[in-house]
Amino acid sequence: MTTSRLLIDVPLEPAIGSRFQPTGFPDIGAADFDRPVVNADGSRGWTKSLLVESAQSMANHLEGTAWDASSNQPVAIFGGLPCIRVIAESDERFLTSSRVEAHRLASAFVKDSKLDGVPMIDVIRTKLGLRDDTPIPHTQVAAAIFELDPFCLVHGIFFADAKWPGQPKIARALTSFVEASGVQRADSGGVKRDHVRHKMNDVDGGTAEGYGSVPFHRTEWTAEAIVASFSLDRRQLRSYGLGKAAEQLLEGIALWEIRSLLDDGLRLRTACDLVPVDDSIVARDGSVLPELDEIEQRIHAAIGECGDQLGAKRAVDVRWSDGGKKGKAG
């Protein structure tokens, strides 16, 4: 069994009942597909399967475990790690951060902000050492990102802007998704009832305005098996060239997010609340996913050993202003 990747498959089941609602896509709806299987008699066949949660959505759920939305700050265990918080220049409101933005450090809100009066797009370009007609070592980019927000080295980032020469990219080191197999549709429905307005007309407003009783249909699913899969690319973590302590920190971040997500249960949507079938989470190589307290001990130790590699060792506030113009910092 290879040690370059940590592979974990976690059987799930609905927290209540047997139905669940998968993710949906525009013009597609639920993403169902056929998966090859080997039958009990050795013959090969196909089983109807379903994408319950996509890789990009699972990345959001994993990152969300490490962010305290009530205080707009990282959770306590990660309070000593750098990240970028974007504050509205006009009234000091919190807007977003590199931990919750889809593009992380490369978010428009981050790059169009200013740090001590300097545009962040310039701060990041200088920090990464980006120059025209100059190849930038992968390790140099990784070290700079590690100083700004190490979570970007776990979940990936693409500096897709012409003002960033070379537009460096870091792939996801932690990938996850949820699939179901042996699935069947569970169709049901209901009605939005209006107990005040019993008759509809063209004058007083109709369903478009929210009046009237409106029947609707709902499609949920049942499944023989639901599995959350996780892949942590340890070889990629080593490729950053940051040293053993940094590798242990990045792996600790990934393991902490996985364990936190599974411990809390995957409440992906109102009608999609999934929990692990077993308390013990075992990887394909036979290793057991540690409990949170053990992972946190590893993280604390790694943060201390990383020293100045971690830059500010706290959330750094930058100021954003639209200046009355789309896409412009004030």
Residue 120 placed within a domain: yes
Res 196: pLDDT: 78
User: By mean pLDDT, which of 242-246, 287-291, 297-301, 318-322 is the weakest?
Assistant: 318-322
Give me the number of domains the chain comprises.
1
Q: pTM score, two decimals?
A: 0.90
Residue 72 placed within a domain: yes
Residue 261 placed within a domain: yes
pLDDT at 191 over 90: no
212 against 205, higher pLDDT? 212
Residue 29 placed within a domain: yes
Q: What integer is the mean pLDDT of 282-296? A: 96
Cα–Cα nearest to 228, from 285, 283, 183: 283
pLDDT at 325 over 80: no
- Name the percent of the chain lying above pLDDT 90: 79
pLDDT at 329 over 60: no
Residue 197 placed within a domain: no
pLDDT at 87 over 70: yes
User: By mean pLDDT, which of 10-24, 29-43, 48-62, 163-177 is the weakest?
Assistant: 29-43
Which residues constitute the domain of residue 49? 5-185+220-320
pLDDT at 327 over 70: no
321 against 297, higher pLDDT? 297
Residue 193 placed within a domain: no
User: With the CA atoms of 231, 235, 237 and 238 taken in that order, what torsion angle do they form, in degrees rounded to the nearest 10?
Assistant: 160
d(CA 150, CA 165): 21
Res 1: pLDDT: 45
Q: What integer is the mean pLDDT of 187-215? A: 74
pLDDT at 26 over 90: no
pLDDT at 37 over 70: yes
Residue 192 placed within a domain: no
Per-chain mean pLDDT for the chain: 91
Res 202: pLDDT: 63
Residue 173: which pLDDT band, with cuts at 50, 70 and 90?
Answer: very high
Res 193: pLDDT: 79
User: By mean pLDDT, which of 113-117, 138-142, 218-222 is the weakest?
Assistant: 218-222
Q: What integer is the mean pLDDT of 36-48? A: 91
pLDDT at 177 over 70: yes
pLDDT at 159 over 90: yes
Residue 198 placed within a domain: no
